[in-house]
Amino acid sequence: MTAQTSFFENVVRYVDRAAALTSHPPGLIEHIKICNSVYHFEFPLRRFDEKGQEYFEVIKAWRVEHSHHKMPTKGGIRYAPDVNEDEVKALAALMTYKCAIVDVPFGGAKGAIQIDPARFERDELERITRRYTHELVKKNFIGPGVDVPAPDYGTGEKEMAWIADTYEAMNPGALDALACVTGKPISQGGVAGRREATGRGVFYALREACAIAEDMKNLGLAPGIAGKRIIVQGLGNVGYHSAKFCREEGEAIIVAIAEREGAIFNPAGLNEEEVFQHRRSTGSILDFPGATNIPNSVDALELECDILIPAALENQITEANAGRIHARIIAEGANGPTTPGAEKILEDRGILVIPDIYANAGGVTVSYFEWLKNLAHVRIGRMGKRYEAAQERRLVQMVEAITGKSLSEKDWNMLSKGPDELDYVKSGLEETMVFAYQNMRETWKSRKELPDLRTAAFYIALEKVAHDYKELGVFP
């Protein structure tokens, strides 16, 4: 973030850049840009110091609903010590455009509590989460058809389960109560594949981009993701799974991983799971066997590589370091990792940036599947799995009869097992990411006034949101 602009202002600058290429009236664009509802509240938390003395800590919290062009609104809840209203507004706005890009029928929203989760005991975090939910319920800022939170930085499945339980307690008998929040444990109404969805979406985005021979030739790269050198910033949920799928399914090489305490580099490749376990046991990714330490994690972004995945926090690639980035492709796993000033530098240098409002949309896409599952009250695939398995078995038997060859038991079971919930989720996510990328790229290439993929993405999002507002009769 530069000294002149905030995170939200950076998002607005991206919107303005795309809006200038549309024919929508200025009033409509201004309405789309603003956050419709901003709820900032505080509440006390009863705690005890080391001597057992009681005291109260005031907790600051937010919920922002950016756009009501579609309902419910949707967006994660962030627990972070430095989070502020500007950040929450920016993230809510990005959610609106993100949902539009991948055709998920939600408006954008975001929530946050200004705490460092490491400072609190589990029971304190539970009380904070339940009180936060209670406040949202009182103001009608949560509900299956109103506003549906999800996990974000600093939160996970257990917080979402507490939210769902609190909402159900305050709405006894509400049939669709579980759909008030996504990212829940599977036993509490969650969906298979949600935890790794954002990282898997980043992989699908990269795989699709790298499959286009023309674009790779322009970058001086061979088609395909296999063998490409990747640097990942952040070993949280998004960074870990992005690295995992790129390495395991894409056969790419993870040459560096960066975290808050520093970075590690190994040109022969790193295994993200081994690095994760090393950090769990030592408290740091540094001194990982066979890797070189890099004390300043931001310096790792400037190492030689083919692909850079910033999957930590916003404003990591700025005007100060954009000229030293050596990657040919940047896939934004985090929200807002690149500032507008840096974007222009990267664009001029011919670096392909796969923007956050598309690249990290896997989480909200699979959250949508979970929401639908909760509304339908049936596990995805339950109605058709056995029928499809039977059809597959018949097909395998026909192939064996025609060829006169018998498949091994392993191959037989693999080909005739029928899809389970995770198979459907992966298929739906892959279809979403592939279709959205092709649409985004086609728009970029067919409209010469669009300088890059990000502008094309915002252009598509604005067209969709503006169309919805016009259909609602808000604007002529």
Contact yes or no for 354/309 (Cβ under 8 A) = no
Nearest-CA neighbor of 75 among 88, 59, 61, 86? Answer: 88
Tally helices (H) and strands (E) across the chain: 16, 12
Burial class of residue 361 (count of CB atoms within 10 Å of its CB; 0-12, 13-18, 19+):
buried
Helix 7-19 to helix 340-348 angle, to the nearest 10 degrees? 50
Task: Check: CB of residue 78 under 8 Å from CB of residue 115.
Answer: no
Task: Give how far the C-alpha of residue 356 lies from the chain's centroid of Cα atoms, to the nearest Å.
Answer: 8
What is residue 143's DSSP assignment?
Answer: B
Sign of CA dihedral 399, 400, 406, 409: positive
Residue 78 structure tokens: 């962030």
Using DSSP, state whether 317 is helix, strand or coil: strand
- Residue tagged active-site, from 110, 228, 244, 385: 110
Told to judge if 158 belongs to the known catalytic residues of this protein, a careful annotator would answer: no
Contacts of 31 (CB under 8 A, 6+ apart): 469, 474, 475
| C-beta atoms surrounding 375 within 10 Å | 14
Give yes or no for a contact between 242 and 276, defined as CB atoms under 8 angstroms apart: no
DSSP 408: P
Proportion of the chain in helix, strand, coil states, percent, rounded to 5 = 50, 15, 35
Catalytically active residues are: 110
